[in-house]
Amino acid sequence: MQKLALAGKYTLVTGASSGLGLEMARIVARDHRGHLVLVARRIDRLEALAAELRTAYGVEVECIQADMTRREDVTRTFEEATRGRVIHAAILNAGVTYFGRGLEHGFEDFSAMLATNVTSVVWLTQRFAQHILTESPGGGVMIVSSVAGTTATPFQAAYSGTKAFLNNFGMALGEELVGEPVSVTVFVPGGIATEMGEKSGTGRKFKKGDVGMMDADVCARRAVLGLLRRERFVIPGALNVLNDLLLRFTPRGLASAMAARIYRDALPPKP
Ligand SMILES: NC(=O)c1ccc[n+]([C@@H]2O[C@H](COP(=O)([O-])OP(=O)(O)OC[C@H]3O[C@@H](n4cnc5c(N)ncnc54)[C@H](OP(=O)(O)O)[C@@H]3O)[C@@H](O)[C@H]2O)c1
């Protein structure tokens, strides 16, 4: 299959109201003159981004307010996105983490994480891949995962589990679809300087500009390139690639213990 081309076609981006998703949407509009469907809960932010991109790059941008923890919002996202419109690429990026001791992770919070990071992604991947196969052959789906899914990551145990799921799900589905006119890319970043660090508390230790922390726009550029090239599994940044390589030859227990050391001192003090 040829490289994916986004010009004049619609790309859907979930989690486009901040961080990586917002930067990927900007790149699709600015560098590829692609039209967009932006999805998140904070509609004011989506509308502001949409106005910026329409004015600056003359592209069409639609916004859908949806909460990926709500089943009806997930199905409505697909219906609204494809009503009278053909989606050529879907970037499933919305995600949340929980940083803290795994035994203290509450049921409601865990259920919301599972719905956002896993259930909605599986459902939307299936729907958009099928839609692309019939309506826009040659398009692609990109799932945003994390290096936390390649190493069991203490203090983000459930998050690490959801991203391990995405790594395997995306790779396995991509293999099933080899030879079909739709590609599945799994994007696997390490630390990115975004709101996620502030919301979860990891920002106490990992700050923008630190070694190993990528800027969101740099990371987004690599992500969109991976989607266009139809790469199956993309780890951005030389340091993350090197880490991944070394960890393949490291006993799993040792890798997990090293991750625990890195994260333990970012934990809030015990009350
Ligand atoms: N930051 C990192 O270090 C890092 C590292 C590896 C992987 N990642 C992954 O990269 C992706 C983007 O994260 P980010 O770093 O850009 O974080 P971010 O700035 O917090 O952005 C998260 C995005 O997801 C959306 N979102 C969260 N919960 C949602 C829900 N229930 N329904 C709909 N949208 C929801 C948010 O929008 P609203 O709040 O407006 O709904 C926001 O646009 C995530 O999948 C994350 O796991 C991040």
| Two structure tokens written together for 14 | 């979930």
CA Rg value for the chain: 18
* Residue 224 within any structural domain of the chain: yes
**In sequence order, what E strands does 4-69 have?**
10-14, 35-40, 61-65
The phi-psi region of residue 67 (left if phi > 0; otherwise alpha if psi is between -120 and 50; otherwise beta) is: beta
CB 121 within 8 A of CB 69: no
Ligand 1 pocket (Cβ < 6 Å) reads 15-21, 40-42, 66-69, 93-96, 116, 144, 146, 189, 191-192, 194-196, 199
Does 1 map to a domain? no
- Burial track 88-100 (b if 16+ CB lie within 10 A, e otherwise): bbbbbbbbbbbbb
Q: What is the pLDDT along the chain (271 residues), one digit of tens a residue?
A: 899 999 999 999 999 999 999 999 999 999 999 999 999 999 999 999 999 999 999 999 999 999 999 999 999 999 999 999 999 999 999 999 999 999 999 999 999 999 999 999 999 999 999 999 999 999 999 999 999 999 999 999 999 999 999 999 999 999 999 999 999 999 999 999 999 988 888 888 888 888 889 999 999 999 999 999 999 999 999 999 999 999 999 999 999 999 999 899 888 777 6
CA distance 13 to 270: 38
Domain-embedded: residue 129: yes
Residue 161 lies in a domain: yes
Closest-CA residue, ligand 1 atom 14, reads 19
DSSP state at residue 154: T
What is the reported pLDDT for 203? 84
Asked about 159 being catalytic, the answer comes back as yes
Q: Which atom of ligand 1 is nearest to the CA of 202?
A: 3
Query: The whole model's pTM is what?
Result: 0.97
**Enclosing domain of residue 176:** 10-264
121 assigned to some structural domain: yes
122 token code pair: 């599986």
Q: Into how many domains does the chain fold?
A: 1
120 located within any domain:
yes
For residue 186, report the distance from its CA to the centre of ligand 1, in Å.
15
What's the CATH number where 178 sits? 3.40.50.720
Contacts of 220 (CB under 8 A, 6+ apart): 20, 23, 24, 26, 27
Q: Is residue 244 part of a domain?
A: yes
Does the residue 25 lie in any domain? yes
Residue 271's pLDDT is what? 67
Question: Strands 61-65 and 10-14, how do they pair?
Answer: unpaired
